[in-house]
Amino acid sequence: MSKTQSLETILAGQLADSDSHWGLGSFGAIAEFTRDHDEHVTLDLAALSAVTARGGIRIAPSADLRAVAFETAAGSSWNQNVALCLPADRAAMHRRTSLTEIGRDAEALREEDKTSVLFDLGLGIPHVDACVRVRDSAVAEQLRTQTGKNVFAPDSGAMRVVLAGQPHRVFMSRCGRVEVYQPIPPPDGRSPQGPHTHVLPKLLSAGRTHAATEPIPEDLVPCLSIYPAHPAKDALGRTKPFQADRHDAFQVLLRWFGDPAMIRLKTAVAAALAGGEAPRRVENGDRFARVWIRIALRQAQASGMKSPALDLWRERYERPGSQDHNEDHSDISGCH
């Protein structure tokens, strides 16, 4: 990977990698696109799109798009993310707050879906239109009887219609769209592997564009997220042998698109460990500093480092038996 590569080239490379995953949404509502190694995919790297039988994605980069790379602590491991961000005014979508019929989905990723009808769920997310796409005319008529209502209101039957009718889910932002074709599980079921959606009304009510654990600059809104291939766990979060090349690849993205303070701090921790130094104060005053230190220590441990210094650093910065928790999600069916 050369630093002279454009962001579009980086996006194309991530899209071509079946180990990279994608998310489009907000705090409390997200559509995710993933694919298996051996899954048939229609991949158009020029158009930045990928479509499988289970879902699809199209990326729409713009001149003012800014990539923000970061790592967050998760469980006893860490996650990695590249958020594609826009200024809030450029990120704004339609902000509908009730179920609204939009019309035919002329921008659908597949030709056979372009005559199906889009309904905006009206979740009121500033930078995302969260929609369902209906092919069955009877289901469309049922949803039309519920338009103008908040889908979470007691007198709305929209979610019951959605669960019974199993329409596609289509989430859109100024950075592109994610489509999910897989069935919605029942309220007591589990989200399927592969493309799926999550909607959680309690989290949506917080009105956040992203989780507080994500160090997104205050003037930006994340409109699409890349979760590049992780060096130490698979797509289901299961531990796997450490892949140094995957780790190194993301560290390059961090240097290009991450917070310089984070890079300096992680570099200081790595130097201290390499030199066998006892724990010392390296925090830079940033509210994420201790998290970054824990991530650096976890990465050293995952890479196989055996060092008394690492043990001492972990004793200082990792509480015994503690884990970092991500926000929980439920599938869209959990809304009703």
Strand ranges in the chain using DSSP code E only, listed in sequence order: 21-26, 29-33, 42-44, 49-51, 55-59, 66-74, 77-87, 100-104, 117-120, 129-134, 168-173, 176-180, 196-199, 220-227
In the chain, the number of structural domains is 1
For position 30, what pLDDT does the model report?
97
Report d(CA 278, CA 309) in Å as an integer. 6
Query: What count of Cα atoms within 13 Å lies in the side-chain half-sphere of residue 6?
Result: 7
Our measurement of the distance from residue 308's CA atom to the centroid of its chain's CA atoms, rounded to an integer in Å, reads 36
Q: What is the pLDDT of residues 16-58, one digit of tens each?
A: 999 999 999 999 999 999 999 999 999 999 999 999 999 999 9
- Calculate the CA 140 to chain-centre distance: 29
Rounded to two decimals, the pTM is: 0.91
Low-confidence ranges of the chain (pLDDT < 70): 1-5, 320-336
CA dist 113 and 19 (Å) reads 27
The answer to whether 282 touches 309, Cβ cutoff 8 Å, is: no
Query: What pLDDT does residue 327 have?
Result: 42
* pLDDT for res 323: 63
Domain that holds residue 253: 1-336
How far apart CA 36 and CA 48 sit, in angstroms, is 18
Query: What's residue 334's pLDDT?
Result: 39
pLDDT value at residue 2: 45
Q: What is the pLDDT of residue 336?
A: 27
